Amino acid sequence: MASLHPVATQSSPRDSGRSVGKRFQSVIVMLLITLLLLGGVGSRLFYLQVVQGERHRQLADNNRIRLLPKPPERGRILDRNGEELAGNRISYGVYFWPFGSDDSNRQTLIQRLSQILDIPVQDIRDRLDQVEANSPTLVRIARDITPAQLTAIAEYQSELKGVQIEPETERIYPNGDIAAHVLGYTGEINQNDLDTLRTDGYRLGDIIGQMGAEAAFESYLRGEWGGQQIEVDGVGKVLDILGEKPPTRG
């Protein structure tokens, strides 16, 4: 009886070449996919780190750095005997920090400030429009507020994120109306005067002489603004004073 032996089959050189070619094509496809993925990730990293890097650094700095303007004390007016005819007393002003506020709550904040300070809504909005929404600079909303207004702001602090109270000075005349026609008076700069005097360093909220000696000697009495650049944490607590320029008294 004849025995059966398996017959070995041999692949042709053409079949072997096709198999190697398919494997090579698969490797090439995988390499291309990998390169595309790496290229996409690399492009994104380049965009975030290089293109957007400066913007992110600026936002980070704005989030922790405040510019606190410090108004100067207006110069006193004395008579020939050295007696004070016009001087200053301590008062408190309301300031707003745009970057430290909640944009979604802006309208509620404006309405509440309008009620507390008895200032028209549009006037408050006009002041806030003077600076960028993410500005680290404080904007004055009101000056010389009453104790009742100070208490109300503290009471509604949860609705007034970005609002803070700063000490400043208010003009006084010890002799009342005596010689008022000579001394004149001061008042907050209006928009027309601001358009004319902005190049002289005046800003919205500044106090200027309106009549009499207050107006005639404005350049001597006004003084020069100063300020502090401070670092704060996430809740607004002062961490460090980065720089300071004291205001110059008039």
Helix (H) or strand (E) holding 89: strand 84-96
Dig out the tokens for 1 from the structure: 């009886």
In a domain, 153, yes or no: yes
Q: Express each pLDDT in 78-129 by its tens digit.
A: 999 999 999 999 999 998 877 666 666 788 888 999 999 999 999 988 888 7
| Structural contact between residues 63 and 236, judged by C-beta atoms closer than 8 angstroms | no
| Structural contact between residues 213 and 182, judged by C-beta atoms closer than 8 angstroms | yes
Q: Express each pLDDT in 200-241 by its tens digit.
A: 888 777 889 999 999 999 999 998 888 777 777 665 666 777
Total-model pTM: 0.61
In a domain, 57, yes or no: no
CATH number of the domain where residue 241 is located = 3.90.1310.10
In a domain, 195, yes or no: yes
Looking at the structure of the chain, the number of domains it has is 1
**Residue type at 186 in one-letter notation:** T
In a domain, 199, yes or no: yes
Residue 204's domain comprises 63-245
If one compares 99 and 194, the residue with the highest pLDDT of the two is: 194
For residue 7, the model assigns a pLDDT of 43
CA-CA distance, 200 to 31, in Å (whole number)? 66
In a domain, 41, yes or no: no
